[in-house]
Amino acid sequence: MTTSQNNKIAFVSGATSGFGRAIAFRLAKLGYRLIITGRRNERLHRISQQLKEEYSTDVFSLCFDIRDKNACEQAIQSLPADFQNIDLLVNNAGLAAGASSFEESDIADFEQMVDTNIKGLLYITKLIVPKMVERKSGHIINISSIAGIEVYPGGSVYCATKHAVNAITKGLRIDLVKYGIKVSSISPGMAETEFSLVRYHGDAEKAKAVYAGLVPLNAEDIADAVEFIVTRPKHVSINDIQINPAQQANTYISFRNT
């Protein structure tokens, strides 16, 4: 049985597709009021309308790039008074760019991953945490990856960024526990969203091949994990959840049907 989260405010970054979109809809179902962010304004508007129509919840959308520190500051400062006391922050925005061996990879891909997965997460968290500290209440969920636990060929920099996310999560948990703020992480294995399409710079054939012969996770599986985390009693903190497809043993060993 789930617990109603009526009138609580959740901030979900990267909500225009994949995990973020599914998480936003699940939180709306649980009764949260929502702040959703992304870089695609048309999608944000459409998702906002769908959330309002399906769940009769309040939704405030922010279109900006989390890699831009000034844009992050302006976005948070633009929140109306009744959306400023954020109870739940879901740092979902992130990506992989490129899958080449290190010596053949592109420095621009490195910068995009570091700026999005690490710096963007830090910018948003730093802007939202002070009010949680002031109220001595709040919850942060960082969407990490199995890549933050194990490294695999062709993923050195992406893996490094997700290892950083896990380290930041643990550090935040230590620093914020005295304020009653929970800090959790979810580390998915292979999941079929837009992730691989982005990683392969729009090459649909390469993206599809990633999941050949197995049943990958989907966005709803991650929304399930978020729901489990946020519906625990106040005295319970789910620190970390790792979720793999049943056919995936670790980052580089999977059983595929031929």
Catalytically active residues, by annotation:
158
User: What is the per-residue DSSP string for 17-82?
Assistant: SHHHHHHHHHHHHTT-EEEEEES-HHHHHHHHHHHHHHH---EEEEE--TT-HHHHHHHHHTS-GG
Max Cα–Cα distance, the chain, nearest Å:
56
Amino acid identity of residue 11, one-letter, is F
- Angle between helix axes 121-135 and 69-77 (nearest 10 degrees) is 30
* 22/26 Cα distance (integer angstroms): 6
Question: In this structure, what are the phi and psi dihedrals at residue 8, rounded to the nearest 5 degrees?
Answer: -75, 150
